[in-house]
Structure 1
Amino acid sequence: MSKFFDFPIFRKIASSSPKKAKDDFERTHQTQLASCAILLGMAKSDDDFSEGEKARIVQILQKTFSLDEFEVEDLIHLSEQQMTDAHGLETFARYINEHYDVDEKFELVKDIWRVVYSDEELHTHEQEMVRKIMLLLNLDNRMIGNAKEDVRRELGLLL
């Protein structure tokens, strides 16, 4: 069996029907791409993609999707490329709105806050970008506030 199938996710996908395997693979890939693009959009909102923000995004993607460092680097590169190829945040937000349930969106919102607070501060431009992303994802203020407080508590930023 090829090294491709050394990854559990690909073994699982390959064990199902060919059509289902292709659909599952495509959905998994698009989900990873959309999440990564949203997180990158947040991190780059001030035109300063810091090492801390990148490290936090890598950590989030590794944990969320069980990817290794090389897979995450490829995903980041592909997301950056697609964001410049006329696929703006709106395209990725539309995918998320169509395919994520409420719990998945809540986790993504928490990940967005984790990126925002990677430097332990909330800057004005970040707050504006969070608002824009939340509008694109059709999220209510209560969910946003709950996610923000959860992350602040997790990071020890609550006084």
Structure 2
Amino acid sequence: MRLRIGSELGAAAALALALFLAGCGGGGGDTPGPGGGGSGGGDTTAPTITSASVNPATVGFYGGSVTISARVTDNQSVAAVWADITKAGGAPVRVNLALTTAPTYQVTWTVPSNAAGTSSAVYTVRISARDAANNTAVSGPLTVTAEANDAPPPPPSF
């Protein structure tokens, strides 16, 4: 007896063969680790930001340089660290922090002059970090203040 492709018996044999081969798929794949489950989901842990600071926290009305720094660690690797600096009512300015001495990242930022201001200019600084798996962390707010130019100069000393 010959099986023809179009016959009912041929179709049934082909289906049986396909089901048999589908059931032979390997085994011995991912061995569950402690706690069950396979090795799976990838990095879901965000970086940790500690010791975030702005130094000095206050500059004169003429502006000046401040150092923004933080210690950033991650269970895998840190991909980027930056600070968003926002003056009340203004758009944020983003500056990238560079790795200086692991795990410390820092940048020097120039606070603009507040010579025309009659009140202090306060900037909010938030440091953010991203790891290679795109997990992100953001520090609490820090501030830097440019004093107002409303104080008279000190009297001359003799």
Question: TM-score, with normalisation over the residues of structure 2?
Answer: 0.20
More strand by share: 2
Q: Which has the larger radius of gyration?
A: 2
